[in-house]
Amino acid sequence: MSADTAPDATRDPDADWDTVTGWDTVTGWGRTAPTGAFVVRPRTYEEAAVAVRDCGVRGGIARGLGRAYGDAAQNAGGAVLDMTALDRVHAVDVSGGTVLCDAGVSLHRLMEVLLPLGWFVPVTPGTRYVTVGGAIGADIHGKNHHVSGSFSRHVLSLELLTADGRVRTVAPGTPLFEATAGGMGLTGVILTATLRLQPVGTALMSVDTERAADLDDLMARLTATDHRYRYSVAWIDLLARGRATGRAVLTRGDHAPLEALGALPARSRARREPLAFRTSRLPATPDFLPGGLLSRTTVGLFNELWYRKAPRESRGRLQRISTFFHPLDGVPHWNRVYGRGGFVQYQFVVGHGREEALRSIVRRISERRCPSFLAVLKRFGEADPGWLSFPVPGWTLALDIPAGLPGLGAFLDELDEEVADAGGRVYLAKDSRLRPDLLAAMYPRLDDFRALRAELDPRGVFVSDLARRLAL
């Protein structure tokens, strides 16, 4: 079966689609370090090749829907290739469970196409408004990493436009694939990808929810029972202190089978159309909000209410896929809630056996009273092959912090050192401020990545603000 996307099917409703090609200010989702670049939006593979050839002395970098939190898809003074016009779904193999699509196709569009056919994307992060190319370049992970690994594990092949103008078919298990998966767009421009899919019986999730009294209670629950669930995540109250430090709401689930819909009213739309993909949207966040909106007091109140409203234990509750995976996608421009100063998303991982480092960092964040209401803890499974892929077996914590918090930079530098000392790493797709001297300790294959880049792209055609900052 084949399917073609509508002209605007990939587009993120939070994006500004009226901007014409030319010089523009480009920033990450955290809105912390905007830079100017010449934005090119190729509509064919040939136009993409021309854009790479003509990107000039400051080089170029591919960009999808702009959901990297930091500066990975920015290029000060150079070119940025907006790949979202290359958004075709070329073919879906319904019997084999694969899809061939352009790199500019969003996960949102794939869900629209695939769910009615009984298939789902193999991995999704907290937003469906990321492109397939961005998902590979950042080697994204989701709530199912402990079972399914990261996105690149499900890529059967990809086509890569390299600095010499060639389009190469790249397969898993090769050095170029392992450098590209998690390589932040620095090996070339991904044009197409073939993905292996996840079969589903409905567009609903069967969800279990429970409270954990503190961090140790949470880790014990995750360790003992995570193997029973395909998807697992915990929201943590990082303002709680004392005996409640690390208290959390644990949410886990799997795709609901068709027979589970029998619990719904007979006339419900979900029973009549079990594979229909449904979403909901709230009014957009205003462009300007008071700088003090996310204070320790307001976030503390939110966290208290969020924890208290969660059931002590709930089993088998049915939720829409969009509600379970992407609740914030229902709030357009939610990143504006942090004000014009933006926010930093900090995510790190430490391995199994390094739980004391996790406890220490959670205590330090709690004691410093960082006003974070978006903080999640997950367990990672086996590491993925990408040389700069983030996940390794262990514990990963991600949190949002207003960028204007006094002393934040120095505090996060200290956390970076603690993470590195524990053999952990930070996530490059969310980073906007890591010191380059810590990178090699966090990513042991960094020298291999740099050597392949130097051989593949000796003129430095592909470059980004992230690459300059970290000497990638």
CB 215, CB 246: distance < 8 Å: yes
> What is the edge-to-edge ordering of all strands in the sheet holding 98-102?
89-93, 98-102, 189-196, 155-161, 167-170
Find all residues with CB under 8 Å of 266, minimum gap 6, and list them.
none
Query: Model-level pTM greater than 0.85?
Result: yes
- Residue 326: the pLDDT is 97
Q: Is the dihedral of CA 25, 434, 414, 303 positive or negative?
A: positive
> How many percent of the chain have pLDDT more than 70?
93
378 φ/ψ angles, rounded to the nearest 5 degrees: -140, 165
Q: Inform me whether the pLDDT recorded for 15 exceeds 70.
A: no
- Residue 2: the pLDDT is 37
pLDDT (tens digit per residue) in 414-464: 999 999 999 999 999 999 999 999 999 999 999 999 999 999 999 999 999
Nearest-angstrom CA–CA distance, 253 and 228:
9
Q: How many CB atoms lie within 10 A of CB 266?
A: 7
Least confident of 92-101, 167-176, 262-271: 262-271
The string over 4-35, giving b where at least 16 C-beta atoms fall within 10 Å of a residue's C-beta and e elsewhere, is ebeeebbbbebbeeeeeeeeeebbbbbbbbbb
pLDDT (tens digit per residue) in 80-119: 999 999 999 999 999 999 999 999 999 999 999 999 999 9
40-52 mean pLDDT: 95
Find all residues with CB under 8 Å of 185, minimum gap 6, and list them.
61, 62, 72, 73, 133, 137, 462, 464
Q: How far is CA 13 from the centre of its chain?
A: 17
